[in-house]
Amino acid sequence: MEDSKGSDYVEKFYLDCGFATRALHAGEHVGQPSTRSHSNAIYQTSTFVLQSAEEGAALFAGEVPGYLYTRLGNPTVKVLEGKINALEGGTLKLKKPELRISTLAFSSGMAAISSALMSCCSAGDTVIIGDCVYGATEHFCSNILAKYGVRTVEVNVADLRAVEAAIQANPKARCILFESPMNPTLLLADISAIVKIVKAVNPDIKVIVDNTFATPYLQRPLELGADLVCHSTTKYICGHGTVVGGLVTTIHDSVRDELYKIIKDVGSSPSPFDAWLVNMGLKTLPVRMQKHCSNAMQIAKFLSTHKQIASVAYPGLESHPQHELARRQMKDFGGMLSFELVGGVEAGRKLMNSIKLFTLAVSLGCVDSLIEHPASMTHACVPRDKRLKGGITDGLVRVSVGIEDPEDLIGALDKALAAL
């Protein structure tokens, strides 16, 4: 239970419970002493006391479980990792008890994404990524991995024929990474179909899904055949805009071991306090996501009929080109949407500078509503030709819908749009 290589523990009792029950109870007090505290402790310490020189030697040799140094493992972080095991992989574990689900926590979403990629490839290999991903993900692949001899190929993962062609054309591919829903276009990737295509060509290629927009409440990629799932806990999983963090969950021991080596040697482990904050946020994830989804649907419907709006991207709308896929693959349609104004980029800037209630800020998944301009903010590091190819136009506005009263949010949008 105190194995510092990430938490591969899923409490059997909670496997038979629903998602909200798991979010509240799974992983609690794992690896922590019984102090009768109702809330989990924050082990805000850099190092741990050894009972003897012999114990220290045994711990460093990996012969006994325990904690040595927070960069190598921490009880508070262990609680978070155990809870995510139950949420991302619990249902899969019920179906396949032989699987070992492992989650490792990181100091940021990009630490998680970059570590997931590095765990799968070496110099001379190829990674395939979706052509619409978070800007820093694209930048890491194009600028950092490239420096170390790893080639990156981009593909439209919404086009299954293009995915198959990319896999067949790149025999040195070691993994494919994509988002669903995608940031910020809200297009989807058919996860199970992509897994089937990839594994038919080369079973050793790892399928990595960035599940940040959906969260395990709405979508669980491991159940759809993915090998690794990544999250930025900065977003919905924490939910309150107080933490920067990340997670990777996998069903492969070899990948888990590689991820742990990266955490250990690069130093990308989260602080215990951040892990504690994320765990507290997770307890309300189900109720928050229900409200995010409900509000987003109402706002998407309002925007779709407004004369100042040229187009709206939201999977819950029947007009969305992948609405049926969203219905099949997700529990609900999420709290993110994007839209284009009739007046283009200038109208978008005017709207963002004048609107009330919606905070002009990057990031997403907070309890309050956020609005931003991807082309000049979250995706500014992506070359314009790549942005446009991925559907990220100059006039696109992205909204992270919060849990405010929907009437107030729609009223604020209506007033701001009327002033254009």
Per domain, the residue ranges of the chain are 1-100+235-240+250-283, 109-233, 285-418
What was the pLDDT predicted at 3? 42
3-state SS, 310-332, equals: EEEECCCCCCCCCHHHHHHHCCC
Catalytic residue from among 134, 236, 260, 314:
134
Domains 1-100+235-240+250-283 and 285-418 share a fold: no
Confidence of residue 32 (pLDDT cuts 50, 70, 90): low
Told to judge if 235 belongs to the known catalytic residues of this protein, a careful annotator would answer yes
State how far the Cα of 348 lies from the Cα of 398, in Å rounded to an integer.
10
What does the DSSP 8-state code read for residue 374? G
Catalytic residue from among 71, 261, 327, 389:
71
61-90 average pLDDT score: 92
- The fold adopted by the segment(s) 109-233 is Aspartate Aminotransferase; domain 2 (3.40.640)
Using a 10 angstrom Cβ sphere, with 0-12 exposed, 13-18 middle and 19 or more buried, the burial of residue 343 is: middle
What was the pLDDT predicted at 30? 64
Which helix (DSSP H) or strand (DSSP E) does residue 127 occupy? strand 126-130
Q: What is this structure's pTM?
A: 0.94
What was the pLDDT predicted at 2? 37
Catalytic residue from among 93, 235, 256, 398:
235
224-242 average pLDDT score: 98
State how far the Cα of 44 lies from the Cα of 122, in Å rounded to an integer.
35
**pLDDT, tens digit, 9 for 90 and up, residues 330-366:** 999 999 999 999 988 888 889 989 999 999 999 999 9
Catalytic residue from among 8, 190, 210, 227:
210
Residue with tokens 């960035």: 210
145-153 average pLDDT score: 98
Render 169-235 in DSSP notation, one character per residue: H-TTEEEEEEESSPTTT-----HHHHHHHHHHH-TTSEEEEE-TTTHHHH--GGGGT-SEEEEETTT
- Please determine, for residue 18, whether its predicted confidence score (pLDDT) is greater than 50: yes
Percent of the chain with pLDDT over 70: 95
Of the options 3.40.50.970, 3.90.1150.10, 3.40.630.30, 3.40.1160.10, the CATH number for the domain spanning 285-418: 3.90.1150.10
Told to judge if 260 belongs to the known catalytic residues of this protein, a careful annotator would answer no
**pLDDT, tens digit, 9 for 90 and up, residues 364-401:** 999 999 999 888 887 888 888 888 887 888 888 999 99
**pLDDT, tens digit, 9 for 90 and up, residues 176-223:** 999 999 999 999 999 999 999 999 999 999 999 999 999 999 999 999
- Please determine, for residue 52, whether its predicted confidence score (pLDDT) is greater than 50: yes
Two tokens at 38? 């109702």
Told to judge if 210 belongs to the known catalytic residues of this protein, a careful annotator would answer yes
Two tokens at 31? 């690896």
- The fold adopted by the segment(s) 1-100+235-240+250-283 is Aspartate Aminotransferase; domain 2 (3.40.640)
**pLDDT, tens digit, 9 for 90 and up, residues 274-307:** 999 999 999 999 999 999 999 999 999 999 999 9
- Please determine, for residue 235, whether its predicted confidence score (pLDDT) is greater than 90: yes
